Structure 1
Amino acid sequence: MFASTKSRLTRAALIATTLALSAAVAGCGSGQAGTGGEGAGNTEGLPATVNLLSVRDETGVTAYAGLGAVRGSEVAVNEINSSGFLGQVELVMDRRDAAGTAQTAASLASEGIASKKYSAILGPILAVESRAIAPIAEKSQVPVVFTQSNSEGVLIGDFTFRATAPFPKYYDVMGQQLQKKGITSIGVLFDAQTASYVETATKVIPEWEQKYGIRVVASKEVQSNTQDFTASISSLLAEKPSAVAAYLLGAQHGTFLKQLRQAGFTGPVIAANGAGNGNLAGAGADGVGVSWPTAFDPSAPEASTQDFVKSYRQMFPDKAPNIYEAEGYDAVWWIARALKAANSADPVAVQKGLVEVAATGFDGAQGALRFEGNDLRATPKIVQWDGAAEVASP
């Protein structure tokens, strides 16, 4: 079951939420969560309803990723409820829109925690938002499972988890692929407001010269609202790189690639997960062949991956699942397994359940999931855009 503040809360529910929030704020000086309210108040045995709070970008520049995570989570909730995985318990996910701002994300998380309604939070995809929520979750002892948020400062304690394998930790596979193609130099263009892109551009790729003989000959910063890349492209190409790395957001990819090809560059272009979700469609033929590493390939043969793809297609027949959907799905199944292990909806018990599940791992949309502490690790797969879809890179 899903609820959105935009369309699905009744007047009665709004009044009830307001009253619960007021009461909780008045009495939550200890910072403890989960001691009252529907779903999160029982310390032993699961209640009839368990509530999760989704705080993700449903509008704004990164809505493509936030909504993807929401859709994946919805598929998981539907599976869990229809299969009876938690017995007669109904799992409910309430949706809130962080709208791409850290302040909004933190406020929504604080309100949800104060209501003492939620057993866990499904956190946002932007690291800047996740870093704002993380200390709130730790202080209140309510577990939050992030997706994306690929940078340091997100997992800061026992109550912060991540269902994404941070791509800077496996991005070297792109260097290996470029080395096999005989690439010896690269120009890098990156969004300076996205922490994981900054880390990849300034720390990971510069190490490729020593590892793979690929030297960074030019590096340019842009902003998340940049639409004219001609000056940056001119500066990059002046150094004659044999490949280009572009770390951008959403529709920026199409604009950049068109301008890059118009400037005469014909070499390989590598990217990150932001190139997925159909964001290269706007580039037309200029986007064909752009490649990036990911923890999810919908064509992978693993049974758990194909089960997810089938379930996703049943709920969203007009959309193809990608990494954001897969991570949102795995995050909810991680929590569901934690609820079952803990036999409690109390947030502190759920945190212990999350740790227990992570210790053994499980099979999910991204394949066999293994964890390093509270953080997912994955075997990367390289995909590329063929003009219509993401496909395995040869």
Structure 2
Amino acid sequence: MADVALLWHLHQPSYVDAATGEVAMSWVRLHTVRGYADMAEMARRHPGVKLNFNLTPVLVQQIEELAEGRVKDRWAELARKDAASLTTEERHQVLEHFFKINWTTCVDPYPRFRQLLDLRGRRAGAGQSDQNMRRFREKDLRDLQVWFNLSWCGFAVRKKHPELGELIQKGRDFTEEEKGRVLEIHQEILKGILGEYRALADSGQVELTTTPFYHPILPLLVDTDVARRAMPGVRLPERLQAPEDALAQLEKAQAAHQRVFGRKARGLWPSEGSVCPELIPLMAKAGFEYFCTDEMVLFRGLEAQGWQGNHSELFQAWRVEEGGASLKALFRERPLSDYIGFTAARTDPKMAAEHLRVHLQHIAQVMPQDGIVLLALDGENAWEAFP
């Protein structure tokens, strides 16, 4: 069987409104109590499995800000407010935002949550309808405030807090106190999640990597004209060349990683996997030893040099040299990575596992003896789709 490296990419853009200091959307909090907590728990359940997690600096920064109460979470404030005191505009916001979760796996299985969705309506824009809003009594709004935040809690949080299971069994007619407790649990998870990942890294089971701090497309910072190498006819704005800014993004990411996790990152997942040769000296100067990106970066780079090999070249580490600097590079196997992220949830679990096993077994027959298969994918958005 092939040696496999699993890299889970945990990322969210900044949702903080610079004008108000409020978090406009709660995706950082919600993914924390679901995917991030669940993946840490799965790692603990399988201590013999080595894993890699890429945590972007902007995501980590937002988790810290939310955990420490330095920013206000607009959706959390909407949920926390007594249902009897919600204004008309706030009621519309609750109906608009509090069904933003996978309906098939996280709404329809729960009779009361499904009833509330049907009461509002399933068509786009239903939350803005005055007629739909008037159907909701105070207790309906309160139940919706609870169910939205309750259904986002993954199996790890439910295991840690059995009272959540009791609320699921209760199903309806929640109290303000019960609603407050669900939100308290969200806050507890936010306060502890980064420590969980640091503990996993300290144990040696997990390696944590990072991304340029504000998630820039680094080649375009180095030189916007780099885009023409892949897209000769592309229209570009006035040329920008800021390699010093690209280096600052890498160094700022390293400083944040060391502060939060106690050590610098050895590996880098460049924003959107974007790379160019000029980045190699900058990555090395910032202290990185390797980077990971997509298989097409390798294939197109080799094809530009007249390569006529086969895809077995993918399944190994490469050494990339430029400007006197040298880094290792791993390129992800895209089809299997995408299968896990986009298709496996709609497949019978045993069949999905067999699909992966058969394909990895085939790869093992053609890969170099000391080769490796990198499966790298989004570590958060896929999990809503899994039952």
| Common topology (TM > 0.5) | no
Given the two structures, how large is their TM-score scaled by the length of structure 1? Answer: 0.22
Larger-Rg structure: 2
Higher relative contact order (CA 8 A, sep 6+): 2
TM-score (norm 2): 0.23
